[in-house]
Amino acid sequence: MERQNVLVQPEELEHQRTFEEKIKAMFESRQAHPRACVDTFGCQQNVADGQKLMGMLVSCGFTLTSEPAEADLVILNTCAVREHAEDRVFGNLGALTHTKKENPEQIICLCGCMAQEPRVSERVKKSYPLVNLVFGPHALWKFPELLWQVYESRKRVFSVQDEHGTIAEGIPVVREKGVKAWVSIMYGCNNFCSYCIVPYVRGRERSRDPQAVLAEVRELVEAGYKDITLLGQNVNSYGNDLDIGYHFPDLLADIDKIPGDYWIRFMSSHPKDATKRLFDVMAGSRHVARQLHLPVQSGNDRVLREMNRRYTRQQYLDLVNYAKRVMPGLVLTSDIIIGFPGETEAEAMDTVSLVEEVGFDALFTFIYSPRPGTKAAQMPDPATRAEKQQWFDKLLEVQNAMSAKLHAAYVGKTVRVLVDGDSDDPDFPLSSRTEGNRLVRLKGGPELLGKFIDVEITGSNTWALYGQPV
């Protein structure tokens, strides 16, 4: 894929603005005040996409609501990573039959990774006639035009062509209020892990221009955002397609020069492309958080080969040991899949032993979920669900004990946190995060929201710390 075929040209984006104006004028002529609901599933990249959809909807004259029953337009922005997420989406589509019955003019859209899968779009076409518009991630920048086609033709519109993917700069964004923001630095994936559908639905890797990323981060810092996460399916391969000798550590170093009081995080980070230079840049920075999410998936070399992860257990250990050495106090988290096709109990226990050896602060753990269209979905899988559940329970037992122990070590210490929201605990009404992204529930009033403060940790459990302002 050549670089000149990646960027959406300014005139093409300007053409989309004309469709926004047409939709806005249509509602004004009817003296209507349309409302839209965007329901996003899945990863932070989907959240960032959802914020772009909301930006375009506002430009089309919509106000936003979180209630589908109130909306004239409902968008389900979907995830294809796990079967459970897919089942939830189809369940929500079924529930929307009631809102559409109450409001027959309601427009229902399905977009995101699920929509890009041919089997899903065909199922929607045949079995869910209430859905008016279906489009995948590649067509997101053309959303105003696709929506106008629905209104103008009164017919169903599907835009799920198999494309290589693009980068569209300048799409309006509606961000959540508060101190957190997401910045996509690249799109797509070249890794083709055997269990993962993402490369098939999001296309090949394509990096945004460094100056565009730096400008967006600078604007966010100036606007008061203090916890900014850089996003990509594999941020460690950022810049490989730019062919200018500029890579992810360079981007982090340049972002770190932006003045202000803020933290920078990033995800996801693939071990095969993580380098000592990346960890050195993190260690020497003022703003990059000493937090690393480095998905290992398995602790067994044979399973890692079958997963097409392209590193070994020892290579992973070497990486995390170096990262811990140059960043004392590093908070390390990971993703793990238990019950990969063909995995034995002994191999699953290799993963448990890796968890014990590394000492992760927290894990995102999953029992393997087959994704149609991936290589792993065709592999023999003799282990029963009950066996996999036993292995999974052992993993959780080990990790939960470790998380509780690591959290308990914080009691009595004073840490710096960013107060980022309200808590659901009446005794500790505020929610905050440490630099390592640990959740700290706080005593205190709303005047602390959005501020960095020092907190004395007074208690802990497996999942959170508890404290009070110093």
Three-class HEC string of the chain: CCHHHCECCHHHHHHHHHHHHHHHHHHHHCCCCCEEEEEECCCHHHHHHHHHHHHHHHHCCCEECCCHHHCCEEEEEECCCCHHHHHHHHHHHHHHHHHHHHCCCCEEEEEEHHHHCHHHHHHHHHHCCCCCEEECHHHHHHHHHHHHHHHHHCCCEEECCCCCCCECCCCCCCCCCCCEEEEECEECCCCCCCCCCHHHHHCCCEECCHHHHHHHHHHHHHCCCCEEEEECCCHHHCCCCCCCCCCHHHHHHHHHCCCCCCEEEEECCCHHHCCHHHHHHHHCCCCECCEEECCCECCCHHHHHHHCCCCCHHHHHHHHHHHHHHCCCCEEEEEEEECCCCCCHHHHHHHHHHHHHHCCCEEEEEECCCCCCCCHHHCCCCCCHHHHHHHHHHHHHHHHHHHHHHHHCCCCCEEEEEEEEEEEECCEEEEEEECCCCEEEECCCHHHCCCEEEEEEEEECCCCEEEEEC
Q: What is the pLDDT along the chain (470 residues), one digit of tens a residue?
A: 445 578 899 999 999 999 999 999 999 999 999 999 999 998 899 999 999 999 999 999 999 999 999 999 999 999 988 888 888 999 999 999 999 999 999 999 999 999 999 999 999 999 999 999 999 999 999 999 999 999 999 999 999 988 778 899 999 999 988 899 999 999 999 999 999 999 999 999 999 999 999 999 999 999 999 999 999 999 999 999 998 999 999 999 999 999 999 999 999 899 999 999 999 999 999 999 999 999 999 999 999 999 999 999 999 999 999 999 999 999 999 999 999 999 999 999 999 999 999 999 999 999 999 999 999 999 999 999 999 999 999 999 999 999 999 999 999 999 999 999 999 899 999 999 999 999 999 999 999 999 999 999 999 999 999 999 99
Question: How many angstroms from the chain centroid is the CA of residue 231?
Answer: 7
Beta strand pairing status for 428-434 and 291-293? unpaired
What whole-number distance in Å separates Cα of residue 33 and Cα of residue 71? 10
What's the predicted TM-score (pTM) here?
0.94
| Torsion of Cα atoms, 374 then 333 then 288 then 314, to 10° | -80
Q: Which two tokens stand for residue 426?
A: 């009446």
- Residue found by looking up tokens 């070994």 in the block: 312
Which of 245, 243, 249 minimizes the C-alpha distance to 230?
A: 249
Which of 198, 214, 311, 229 minimizes the C-alpha distance to 47?
A: 229
Q: For 3-159, which CATH class?
A: alpha beta
Q: What is the largest CA-CA distance in the chain?
A: 68
What whole-number distance in Å separates Cα of residue 370 and Cα of residue 341? 9
Q: Which two tokens stand for residue 462?
A: 């497996």
- Residue found by looking up tokens 């230079």 in the block: 277
Whether the bond between 423 and the residue before it is cis, its omega within 30 degrees of 0, is: no
What whole-number distance in Å separates Cα of residue 338 and Cα of residue 336? 7
Each domain of the chain, given as residue ranges in start order, spans 3-159, 176-289, 291-406, 414-469
**Environment class of 162 (CB within 10 Å of its CB; exposed 0-12, middle 13-18, buried 19+):** exposed
**What topology does CATH give the domain 291-406?**
Transcription Regulator spoIIAA (3.30.750)
Q: Residue 264 forms beta bridges with which residues?
A: 228, 288
Whether the Cβ atoms of residue 69 and residue 99 lie closer than 8 Å to each other: yes
**Environment class of 419 (CB within 10 Å of its CB; exposed 0-12, middle 13-18, buried 19+):** buried
Q: Which two tokens stand for residue 39?
A: 């329901």
Q: Looking at domain 414-469, does it have CATH number 2.40.50.140?
A: yes
Q: What is the pLDDT of residue 1?
A: 43
Asked if the domains at 176-289 and 291-406 fall in one CATH topology, the answer is yes
Q: Which two tokens stand for residue 325?
A: 């050495």
Q: What is the pLDDT of residue 112?
A: 93
Q: Which CATH number fits domain 176-289: 3.40.640.10, 3.10.20.90, 3.40.228.10, 3.30.750.210?
A: 3.30.750.210
- Residue found by looking up tokens 């599933």 in the block: 41
Q: What is the pLDDT of residue 4?
A: 55
